[in-house]
Chain A
Amino acid sequence: MSIEPRKPPLQFAIKLQRVLGGQAGWGGFVLQILFVAGLAWISYEIVSNASENLKAQRITAGFGFLANTAGFDVSQNLIPYTGSDTYTRVFFVGLLNTLLVSVIGIFFATVIGFLVALGRLSPNWLLARISGGYVELIRNLPLLFQILFWYLAVLAALSNPRQSISLFGAFFLNNRGLVIPKPIGEPGFEPFVVAVLIAIVAAIVLWRYARRQLFQSGKVIKVWPYALGLMTGLPLVSALIFGAPVIFEIPELKGFNFSGGSPIRPEFVALTLALSTYTAAFIAEIVRAGILAVHKGQMEAGSSLGLQRGSVLRLIVIPQALRIILPPLTNQYLNLTKNSSLAVAIGYPDLVSVFAGTALSQTGQAIEIIGITMGVYLLISMVTSAIMSFYGWRLGRSLGG
C-alpha cells in the first residue's frame, strides 16, 4: 500500500490559515479582519473630521502648495535650485542634503567605530586606554552640545576669508569653510570615466580568478600590482588619446567671499564630524561586544594555525561577530539619520530645516508638511533596515548558518 502524498493546494490552505489566523485558526482570522476594519474606520473618521474642521476654520489644506513657487534660497543644493523653483524642489533639495550628511556620517562612523573597538581590544595598554577614554567621553556628552562645539568653538575660530589658510594657492580654509577647485568636465571626461570603469571591472575579475586559483590549487597570485597598473594605466591612456578629462576652476577672493570653486561649508563639516564621532562611540561598543561574544577558542584556533592577529580577526573572528553586530549596528545607522535633523541649530539646510521649517512657516500647512516629513524619515529608516537585513541574510548564507 502506498501512502498518498498530500495535495499541494491543501497544504497551501493550511499554511494560509496558519499565517492569517495563527493558532486560533480561521476564528482568529475573522478577529483580525474585524480589528483591521476597526482601525481603518477610526483613521477614516479622524481624517475626515479633521479636514471638515479645517474647512470650517478656512485653514488651507491639501497638497496643492507643493506646486507653488518657494521664493527663498538654500545655500547648499545638490540639484540645481533657485528661489523661483517650487516647494517640491525644495523638498528634494532638503532630502538630498539629509541623505548626504547621513551617508557620509554612516561611513565615517563605521570606520571610526571599528577602529576604536579594535583599539580597545588591543593588547597595547596605551591604545586601549585612549580608545576607552574616547568612548566614555563622546557617548556621555549630549549630541547637540557636540554639534555646537564643532561649529562655534572649532570651525568658527578659523580666520576670515581675507586671511584664509591657503594650500598650493588652490585650496582655501577659513571660517566660511573649505573652498576647493571645482572640476569642470571637458570632452575627454566620458572616455575617462569609461576607462576607469573598465579598469575596476578588470581588477575585480582578476581578483576573483586569483581567489579561485588559491582555493583550487593553493597557488598564490599577487593581484595588486596588476590592479594598480590597470587602474592608473587605462585612464592615463584615455587622457592621452582624448585629452584631459577635467580642468579645475581655481577659487578666487572676490568681494566678501571666494567665487568659483566648490565650497565645503562649516555647517556640513560640523554636523558630519559630530554625527560620525558621536555614533562611532556607540558602534565601537557594539563591535567590541560582538567580537568578545565570539568564543575565545576561535581566536586560539586561528593562532594555532599560524595566522597573525590581524588575519585571525579579519578571517575568523569578525565574520562571526558581524552576525551579532548587525542588528544593533542598524539601530545606530537609523539613529544617525534621525539625529541629522539637529542640523537646524547650526543652519545646515537639511529636510527639517528647509521643508519642515521655512516651507512650513511660509505655507502654514503644518499637518501636511509634518506628515510628509515623518513619512520620509520612516521610508529612509525602512530602506536602511532592508539593506542591512539583506546584508545579514547574505552573511548568514555565506557562513552556512
Chain B
Amino acid sequence: MKRASLVLTLALAAGLSTQAVTAQTLKTVKDRGMLSCGVSQGLPGFSSPDDKGNWTGLDVDVCRAIAAAIFNDPTKIKFVPLSAKDRFTALQSGEIDVLSRNTTWTLSRDTTLGANFTGVTYYDGQGFLVKKSLKVNSALELNSASVCVQTGTTTEQNLADYFKGNNMKYEVIAFGSNDEAVKAYESGRCDVFTTDVSGLYADRLKLANPADHAVLPEVISKEPLGPMVRHGDDQWFDLVKWVLFAMVDAEELGVTQKNVDDMVKSDKPELKRAFGTDGNLGEQLGLTKDWVIRIVKAVGNYGEAFDRNVGAGSKLGIARGLNQLWNKGGIQYAPPIR
C-alpha cells in the first residue's frame, strides 16, 4: 500500500517533470485499444472481482459503458484496483483514464486535484454499523464508543464533525484498507464501523453472521459518488459525463437491454435522436451514432445496472431511495439527449 503510493507519486513527479500535459485521452485510449479504469480494491455492488476474476458492480458498469461506447466491446478494459489514498495520484499521473471508485464529490476535490467529477452515479451518505447485541438504536447513543474507519476518505472528517457537533467523545482507529477496518470491527476492537451506507450493506455481507449487525438509521453526511477525469481534456470530460447521462436517460425513455432492438425501430423523435437514426449527436462526442445502443446493450440502463449490482436483484438489496429517477420520487436526473 505504502509502496504503491510511493510508486504512483514518483510516477506523478516523473510524468509532470518530463513531459507536457497531453490532452487527447480519447485518442490515447483508442490507440491503446483499451480503457484504463481505476476501481476499488473490492467493494461488493460497486466494484469487486468475482470468483473468475471478472469485475462487476455499478462503478464497473460505468467503465464498461464507456468502453462499449468507444470500442463496442465492454471487455476492453484494464481495471486498476486502488486504495482510497492512492486513487487521485493514479488519475493525476495518467495511470488511469477514468476513476470510477465510489468517490465523494466535494468542492476541495473538484478544485485542488486537477480533476473533475463528471456526475453522480450513486447518492450516498455516511452511516454506522453496530452489533445488535449492544442494543444501540441511534447514533446519538454512541458516546465513548471506539470507531473503526478506513483512512484516506471523507469519512474521518464527517465522523469528527458529527461527534463534536453532538458533544460526544469517541476513539478513532483508522486502518489502511477497508478490509482491515472491517476485520478489526468484527474482532471486537471497535463498537462501531463507519463508512458510506451502501458500503455498510456491502461490508456486512462479508461478516461471519451478517444478521447480528445492524445499520443505524442516522445518515450523517451527503456523499454523492461519481466518476472523475483529469483536467485539461474537455472532450474526454464530455464523453464520460454523457455516457452516464445516457444510462439515466435510457431508463427514463424506457429503453432496456431486452427491448433495445425493438425500440430502435420506434418513430418517437426523442428515441430517434438518442439512437442516432436522426442526427449525429454521438459523433459530436467523438463516438459513433449508435453510442446509446452500444451502452444499453452492454450494461443496460441506469435502473438495470442499479438493480443488478446493488438493488433488489442483488445480494445487497438496497432500495432505490434517492437514486430513483426524478419523475419517480428520487433525484437522479440527466439532461436531455438533443
> Using a CB–CB distance below 8 Å, which chain A residues touch chain B?
45-47, 49-50, 53-54, 56-60, 71-75, 83, 152, 156, 160, 175-176, 254-257, 259, 265-267, 341, 344-347, 349, 352-354, 356-358, 360-367, 370
Total contacting residues, chain B, CB less than 8 A: 60
Q: Does B140 contact A (CB under 8 A)?
A: no
Supposing A59-B92, A257-B145, A357-B151 touch, asked if A175 and B189 sit within 8 A by C-beta, the answer is: yes
Q: Does B295 contact A (CB under 8 A)?
A: no
Q: Chain B nearest CB: distance from A114 CB in Å?
A: 31
Q: Does B153 contact A (CB under 8 A)?
A: yes
Check if B143 sits within 8 Å of A352, measured CB to CB. no
What are 9 inter-chain pairs, A to B, with CB distance below 8 A? A46-B18, A53-B16, A73-B156, A75-B172, A265-B173, A360-B152, A361-B88, A366-B5, A366-B8
Check if A50 sits within 8 Å of B17, measured CB to CB. yes
Q: Which of B9, B18, B20, B146 contacts A366 (CB 8 A)?
A: B9
Supposing A345-B175, A357-B176 touch, asked if A49 and B18 sit within 8 A by C-beta, the answer is: yes
Q: Does B180 contact A (CB under 8 A)?
A: yes
CA gap between A342 and B71 in the complex, in Å: 42
Check if B5 sits within 8 Å of A370, measured CB to CB. yes
Check if B113 sits within 8 Å of A364, measured CB to CB. yes
Supposing A156-B189, A267-B173, A370-B5 touch, asked if A71 and B144 sit within 8 A by C-beta, the answer is: no
Check if A57 sits within 8 Å of B92, measured CB to CB. yes
Check if B161 sits within 8 Å of A357, measured CB to CB. no
Q: What does the 1/0 interface line of B99-138 toward A look like (CB < 8 Å)?
A: 0000000001101111000000000000000000010000
> Using a CB–CB distance below 8 Å, which chain B residues touch chain A?
1-2, 5-6, 8-9, 12-13, 16-18, 20-21, 84-85, 87-89, 92, 108-109, 111-114, 134, 142-146, 148, 151-153, 156-157, 159-161, 164, 169-176, 180-181, 183-184, 187-189, 191, 230-232
Which residues of B sit under 8 angstroms from A365, Cβ to Cβ?
A: 112
Check if A60 sits within 8 Å of B189, measured CB to CB. no
Q: Chain B nearest CB: distance from A150 CB in Å?
A: 13
Check if B151 sits within 8 Å of A344, measured CB to CB. yes
Which residues of A sit under 8 angstroms from B16, Cβ to Cβ?
A: 49-50, 53-54
Check if A353 sits within 8 Å of B109, measured CB to CB. no
Q: Which of A156, A345, A360 contacts B85 (CB 8 A)?
A: A360
Which residues of B sit under 8 angstroms from A45, Cβ to Cβ?
A: 17
Residue in chain B with minimal CB distance to A369: B9
CA gap between A83 and B6 in the complex, in Å: 27
CA gap between A362 and B164 in the complex, in Å: 19
Q: A176-B171, A256-B145, A353-B174 are in contact. List 14 more A-B contacts (CB 8 A).
A: A53-B17, A72-B159, A74-B174, A156-B187, A257-B144, A257-B145, A267-B173, A347-B176, A347-B184, A354-B151, A358-B152, A361-B151, A364-B108, A367-B12
Q: Chain A nearest CB: distance from B120 CB in Å?
A: 20
Check if B187 sits within 8 Å of A255, measured CB to CB. no
Q: Chain A nearest CB: distance from B314 CB in Å?
A: 28
Q: Which of B2, B6, B183, B232 contacts A56 (CB 8 A)?
A: B232
Residue in chain B with minimal CB distance to A46: B17
